A and B are shown apart, each in its own frame.
Chain A
Amino acid sequence: MRPYSDKQNVQKKPYYSDRYFVAPQIPKEAVESDAVFAKDLATLQAKFEIKEAYIQRGQLVVYIDPKDNVAVLQTLKEACAYNMLSEHSAIDWLAKSNEFELFYQLLSTSKRKRLRVKCFIHAKEVLQSVYGVYKSADWAEREMYDMFGISISGHPYMKRLLMPDDWFGHPLLKTYPLHGDEAARWYEIDKIFGKEYRDIIGPEERDSARVDENDTYRFARLGHEVPFGAEPSLEKTFHDYQEEGGVTIVKTLKKSESKLVKERP
């Protein structure tokens, strides 16, 4: 029987975990502890539904309804002086709840405060673009679409950013293997040489640590060296890497004539 593997999350798992280990939590502080954040939160609460709000490691985290994202950011920019969107991306929770968690990392240079607006969207839900509020969302949203496949409406140029336009799949999903899926293995072969060369060249191996024992073109078989491209053999090869006639100062060293000493001389 094949061992069970979780197809929903193919990321690397720790090979050992203590079953009694309970991970500690980073403390969440109440928003009231910071006057500036409390005021910002009050401004938001007057207009929108706030699901949760707390301060973690000095930054305010606010959970909102994804439908409000543009309006919330607009309010934060105009009424609360959060003038910059420094980062925007998503976290994949598809295996757990079929949702993506989005975050908008905001910065107010006048108040020296950082705030994180977060929301959950369903896998197929379409998100409204915030390009109209912060232009830095332009590439951040394109990258998010590229990496997670989250559809955005109202974006001026929604296209893949980092991966090629005709790429299949979205690499940062937890279901996507580290070394690429089946389509990725054939992508460059098909693109450069054509589908008819698949049998001749074979799939692309993206694991940089892989060593093919039978491939004498790209890998030397230490201790069993054969001429370039020849069939691998089990016969041992013996090398004394020594120049012909020896080197001037160094005495001729032969592995076969060397002896092991028990004690340091």
Chain B
Amino acid sequence: MQKVNRLKPFFENIAFEREDNHMIVNFGPQHPSAHGQLRLILELDGEKVSKATPDIGYLHRGMEKMAENMIYNEFLPTTDRMDYIAATSNNYGFALAVETLIGLEVPRRAKVIRMLLLELNRITSHLFWLATHALDVGAMTIFLYAFREREYALDLIEDYCGARLTHSSVRIGGVPLDLPKGWLEKLNAYVNRLPYDIEDYEGLLDQNRIWKMRLEGVGIVTPEQAQSWGCSGPMLRGSGIAWDIRKEEPYELYDEVDFDVPVSTTCDSYGRYKLHMEEMRQSIRILKQLMPMYDETAPEIIAHAPQYVSAPKEQIMTQNYSLMQHFVLVTQGMKPPVGEVYVPTESPKGELGFYINSQGDPYPYRLKLRAPSFFHTALLQEMLVGEYLADVVAIIGNANIVFGEIDR
């Protein structure tokens, strides 16, 4: 008998039990379609799943514990590593939570820049979702096209903050940099081009027989299930519930821009695919409205709150008092008021919430990250039952889960 858990090959993955037509399959954690480190223990009855047990924690880095040992600004780059497909949405969620905690008003130009970045991130995230999901289902061409377009968006973000994936492009109180010269023109060119690309994707997929067979009627989430399991984002709207935090509890300037919240009532994977495509179009719509708004704003990009936020860089470099104050904020950290907040934002994946309990120290006493994918993965144990083994891959891909934010 081989000893378990020693570094000799131990064939755990193929140790299935076989009795009659019943079989246990270990899916992951190194499966290419598991979208990260997801381990699924599937009990199969023939080819149908009779029980699914997701096992997570392979990417657990203890971010909540880290947050308790860091000053607020120090934690911001860590949030990049949550949903690394759309890093700015995490930075923003955290920054907004801290701003709500200390009651800070952000300058208008910073708000516009943040929204530009958030919507660009939504587009890159949805393109990534489409690419990997289509690849899982077998549509290789879409993967190449969607990744190409995503790369252009990443170039834009790189132009702004210098990073492709881990942006850290939002600061508590505003944004660190103004838009570079000519950035909006580049964005405009991209935004004008993208609708035709989305049309191309839809031309390849919408009426594609294989795509429809793999997605239609697969991964049904009823509205009751979606609410009970705490689904959010496209998973909730895919079940016919029109709930978008940008619309219902608007933050930043989302109440000033005009956009629709697409809803699908079919409750299946195909409906959620259509929903993602429509959401990209709405993001483009928001971006187009934001570009003229940028020009009308005053040049301040970071809030003036010396107790909490450092002055802009050029001021730190020239003004003695700003430098002293920056030194204090970096070495000691800012001390927000005593109290607690729960601030939800609409990340590309759903409701990204930050719960902060502050005791007036520079370190949060407790910080809870509410990741949308966490609850969507929990739903898998109910969603996968009764589905075919081959559809498991399609459903996982469709649920748009990212393990950085599930395990945290």
* Number of interface residues, chain A, beta carbon within 8 A: 48
What DSSP secondary structure best describes chain B's contact surface? mixed
Give min CB distance, B61 to chain A, whole Å.
10
Say which one of A11-19, A38-46, A64-72, A214-222 lies at the interface with B. A11-19
8 Å CB contact of B227 from A15, A84, A176, A193: A84
A56's partner among B65, B340, B375 (CB-CB below 8 A) is: B340
Task: Kindly provide the distance from the CB of B350 to the nearest chain A CB, expressed in whole angstroms.
Answer: 10
Number of B interface residues in the complex (CB < 8 A): 57
Q: Within A60-89, which residues are at the interface with B (CB < 8 Å)?
A: 83-87, 89
Binds B, one of A109-117, A119-127, A234-242, A249-257: A109-117
Q: Could you tell me the distance in whole angstroms from the C-beta of A129 to the nearest C-beta in chain B?
A: 14
A128 located at the interface, meaning its Cβ lies under 8 Å from any Cβ of chain B in the complex? no
A202 adjacent to chain B (CB < 8 Å): no
Does B259 touch A at the CB level, under 8 Å? Answer: no
A25's closest neighbor in chain B, by CB? B338
Partner of A134, one of B6, B230, B382, B407: B230
Q: Is B249 an interface residue (CB 8 A)?
A: yes
Question: CA separation between A89 and B335, bound complex, in Å?
Answer: 24
Complex: chain B residue closest to A91, CB-CB: B366
Query: Would B332 and A16 count as touching, CB distance under 8 A?
Result: yes
11 further interface pairs, Cβ-Cβ under 8 Å (given A56-B339, A114-B344, A192-B7)? A14-B363, A57-B100, A57-B101, A57-B339, A86-B232, A87-B355, A136-B230, A139-B374, A162-B56, A178-B66, A192-B6
B53: chain A residues at CB < 8 Å are: 157
B residues lining the A interface (CB < 8 Å): 5-7, 53, 56-57, 60, 62, 64-66, 68-70, 100-101, 103, 225, 227-230, 232, 241, 243, 248-249, 332-333, 335, 337-342, 344, 351, 353, 355, 357, 359-363, 365-366, 368, 370, 374-375, 377-378, 381-382, 407
A51 adjacent to chain B (CB < 8 Å): no
Query: Do A59 and B230 touch across chains, with their CB atoms under 8 A apart?
Result: no
- Taking a contact as CB atoms under 8 Å apart, the answer to whether B68 and A11 are in contact is yes
Question: Would you give the shortest CB distance from A78 to chain B, in whole angstroms?
Answer: 13
**A99 in the interface, Cβ–Cβ < 8 Å?**
no
B64 cross-chain contacts in A, Cβ below 8 A:
147, 172
| Cross-chain contact of A83 among B65, B227, B341, B365 (Cβ < 8 A) | B227
7 A-B residue pairs with CB within 8 Å? A14-B332, A23-B361, A86-B230, A86-B232, A87-B370, A89-B355, A162-B407
Given contacts A12-B363, A57-B100, A105-B342, A91 and B357 within 8 Å (CB-CB):
yes
B101 contacts across to A, CB distance below 8 A: 26, 57
Contacts A14-B363, A25-B338 given; indicate if A191 touches B5 (C-beta within 8 A).
yes
Q: A162-B407, A192-B6, A194-B6 are in contact. Are A91 and B365 (CB under 8 A)?
A: yes
Point out the residues of chain B lying under 8 angstroms from A152, CB to CB. Answer: none
Q: Does A4 contact B (CB under 8 A)?
A: no
**Are B355 and A136 in contact, with the CB atoms below 8 A?**
no
Within 8 Å of chain B (Cβ to Cβ): is A158?
no
Find the B residue at minimum CB distance from A87.
B370
Give the distance in Å from the alpha carbon of A25 to the alpha carbon of B359 in the complex.
9
B189 CB to closest chain A CB (Å) equals: 38
Q: How far is the CA of A140 from the CA of B248 in the complex (A)?
A: 25
Nearest B residue to A166 via CB reads: B5
Pairwise interchain contact A59-B342, C-beta atoms closer than 8 A? yes
CB-based contact A26/B7 at 8 Å: no
Chain B neighbourhood of A191, CB < 8 A: 5
A162 lies within 8 A of B57 (CB) = yes
What CA separation (Å) do A107 and B60 show in the bound complex? 27
B229 cross-chain contacts in A, Cβ below 8 A: 135-136, 138
**B57 contacts which of A56, A89, A135, A161 (Cβ < 8 Å)?**
A161
- Complex Cα spacing A114 to B243, Å: 14
A195-220, CB under 8 A of B: which get 1 and which 0?
00000000000000000000000000
Does A163 lie at the interface of the complex (its beta carbon under 8 Å from any beta carbon of B)?
Answer: yes
A136 CA / B249 CA spacing, docked (Å): 22
A103 to B341, CA, bound (A): 12
Interface pair A172/B65, CB less than 8 Å apart: yes
| Partner among A11, A23, A85, A109 whose Cβ is within 8 Å of the Cβ of B363 | A11
Taking CB atoms, residues of chain A closer than 8 Å to B337 are 23-26
Q: Does A225 contact B (CB under 8 A)?
A: no
